[in-house]
Amino acid sequence: MALTKADRVFLSWAAAYVASQANILRVLGSARPKLLKIQTATSAASYRAILDGMDARELAGYRAHYPLDMLHPMIYAMALRAGARALDARAPLSPHTREFLERAPVVSAAGDYIENVVGWYLIDHRQRITDAGTRVVSAISAAKWALALGSLGYIAQGLARSLR
């Protein structure tokens, strides 16, 4: 089956996503595993302990990833929305599903921006880290991941089926 314009747009955004993600991981360096721990922290003490446990190099990588991560949510939202349009062009979606797959990446990206702004601020304002704030940001992170990965899973399985 030949690639459609919608497929090419999706593949272009998907390539941009992969490049962006790889660059963020490169910049994070040895702080990579600590990022997920911060995103899933459930208390101020654990959040601070993760930051305090970073050496100077890890902290520099963690701080340096934020400018890149301020563009990244837009890239993955565009990739997922383009994927939904590519899927819809191959196998028409119900209006409800189409609307969900158009909105979920935007909501996910918005959550990512909240998480990024808060995380970047808290690097230098650790006294502002609270249990409630940590739990709210962790819940936003979990929702962000659920929306993005759920959308990706639905799109991927739909596109795989449409290629058979």
Task: Give the pLDDT confidence of 145-158 residue by residue, as tens digits.
Answer: 999 999 999 999 99
Kindly state the tokens that stand for 27: 């910049």
Residue in the block written with tokens 């819809």: 88
- Full-model pTM: 0.94
Question: pLDDT for 97-143, tens place per residue?
Answer: 999 999 999 999 999 999 999 999 999 999 999 999 999 999 999 99
In this predicted structure, the answer to whether residue 163 has a pLDDT above a threshold of 90 is: no
Looking at residue 17, its pLDDT comes to 98
DSSP string, the chain: -PPPHHHHHHHHHHHHHHHHHHHHHHHHGGGHHHHHHHHT--SHHHHHHHHHT--HHHHHHHHHHHHHHTTHHHHHHHHHHHHHHHHHHHSPPPHHHHHHHHHHHHHHHHHHHHHHHHHHHHHS-GGG--HHHHHHHHHHHHHHHHHHHHHHHHHHHHHHHHT-
